[in-house]
Amino acid sequence: MKFLLSLATLACALATNAAIAVGPAPAPLKQKEVLTIGYVKVGHLSAMLMLEEELKQFNIEVKRAEFVRYADARTALLSGSVDVSTVGPGDLAIVAAQGSKNLIGLSGVASSAKYLVVRKGVKIDNWSDIAGKKIAIAPGSAVWFQWAMTLVEKNIPYTAFSPVNVQGGGTAFIQAMKRGDIDAMVLWEPFESQAVAEGDAYFAKNLEYSQSRAVGAELGMLAASGDAMKTKKELVQRFLWAYFKIEEQLARNDVLFAETYAKYTGLPLSVTTESSKIIKLGGVLDKEQVARLADAAFKQGIVQKNVTKEAADLYDDSMAKAIKK
């Protein structure tokens, strides 16, 4: 898959190069190598758009595999069908509970406030208003875990609302809201902002659920297969360098971020301009948060055994920290 940027956008990117916080570029590989990259088309991963061009300078050819959900990307990493991908921070607990070590977390990617998205005409101003409401969720997803653990920490029973399980990507949520099948939804960008921009919903700003101690505000995680870390470590290192370089450009240029976001997801610029204001690029995940995620997943029955230490051991951000020095 080849992505092209407009000359104007490239000019914006070049203008921010001086502000890049990554270290010196690694040397090119001596011969051409292939790296298979999994990706999900969500705004906080817009840096994926320009990876081909960046990795060419290292003699790395990119093959892409698109996924709708982090869970599908996790399966692909475990099977070795992709070398690197983005998954959810909580996926390390799931992998550890399965007894596997073939997925290594490398870095977080971004954070944002998370608000319940409510259908126009439905009144939800505070937590007590969710009583009896039909709220769409994606069971087992990263945002669902944020929502569920916020309820736990606020001592709000999960039975306070009527969960509506929605399978598939964010488009299914949007359609359910347009039909009036649901009152609200626990979702991710860009679909949250899309529903609001199209006039179907509003953000319930008093119902913020990204700040639970158990889950935190991290939106995703760059990860590599265990096999890739053994046989393609130099490629993984260069992938991280390229990703962080692009991420820094986007983080320092709001216009560039919104335009890249639009090209990456195929959404109108009017939607991505608003959505990009919500997202803060740059990971906030650390080993301690991974451990808290795993502990909470066990206590809530999401995984069937306590793998707090094992999950934390699967997170190794030493390469990322070295690149960002």
Phi-psi group of 27: left, alpha or beta (phi > 0 → left; psi -120 to 50 → alpha; rest → beta): beta
Q: Give the structural domain span for 287.
A: 7-111+217-323
**Count: domains in the chain:** 2
Q: Give the pLDDT score at 14.
A: 35
Contact at 8 Å (CB) between 84 and 60?
Answer: no
Residues 86 and 230 in one domain: yes
Which DSSP string do the residues of 38-89 spell out, in sequence order? EEE--GGGGGGGGHHHHHHTTTEEEEEEEESSHHHHHHHHHHTS-SEEEE-T
Residue 82 within a domain: yes
Q: Give the pLDDT score at 132.
A: 95
Residue 1 within a domain: no
Instruction: Write a three-state SS string for 138-204.
Output: CCCCHHHHHHHHHHHHCCCCHHHCEEEECCCCHHHHHHHHHHCCCCEECCCCCHHHHHHHCCCEEEE
Question: pLDDT per residue over 128-168, tens digit each?
Answer: 999 999 999 998 788 998 999 999 999 999 999 999 999 87
Residues 254 and 279 in one domain: yes
Which residue, 208, 226, 247, sits at the end of a domain? 208
| Local confidence pLDDT in tens for the 325 residues of the chain | 333 333 333 333 333 333 347 899 999 999 999 999 999 999 999 999 999 999 999 999 999 999 988 989 999 999 999 999 999 999 999 999 999 999 999 999 999 999 999 999 999 999 999 999 999 999 878 899 899 999 999 999 999 999 999 987 889 999 999 999 999 999 998 899 999 999 999 999 999 999 999 999 999 999 999 999 999 999 999 999 999 999 999 999 999 999 999 999 999 999 999 899 999 999 999 999 999 999 999 988 888 999 999 999 999 999 999 998 7
Residue 312 within a domain: yes
Residue 12 within a domain: yes
Structure tokens at 11: 């000019």
Q: Give the pLDDT score at 85.
A: 97
Residue 31 within a domain: yes
Question: pLDDT per residue over 188-225, tens digit each?
Answer: 988 999 999 999 999 999 999 999 999 999 999 999 99
Q: Give the pLDDT score at 13.
A: 37
Sheet with 201-208, side-by-side order of all strands = 162-165, 134-137, 184-185, 115-119, 201-208
Residues 63 and 106 in one domain: yes
Nearest-10 crossing angle of helices 254-265, 233-251: 120
Residues contacting 291, CB < 8 A, separation 6+: 308, 309, 311, 312
Structure tokens at 318: 């030493």
Query: Three-state SS for 134?
Result: strand
Residue 148 within a domain: yes
Contact at 8 Å (CB) between 265 and 41?
Answer: yes
Polymer length of the chain? 325
CA dihedral 271, 273, 277, 280 (to 10 degrees): 100
Return d(Cα 309, Cα 316) in angstroms, integer: 13
Which residue, 158, 190, 208, sits at the end of a domain? 208
Return d(Cα 106, Cα 129) in angstroms, integer: 39
Residue 2 within a domain: no
Average pLDDT, the chain: 91
Contact at 8 Å (CB) between 184 and 124?
Answer: yes
Taking 3-state DSSP, the helix, strand and coil percentages for the chain, each rounded to the nearest 5, stand at 45, 20, 35
Q: Give the pLDDT score at 20.
A: 43
Contact at 8 Å (CB) between 63 and 35?
Answer: yes
Residues 86 and 227 in one domain: yes
CATH number at residue 200: 3.40.190.10
Return d(Cα 273, Cα 256) in angstroms, integer: 10
Structure tokens at 21: 């916080």
Q: What is the pTM of this model?
A: 0.84
Q: Give the pLDDT score at 237.
A: 98
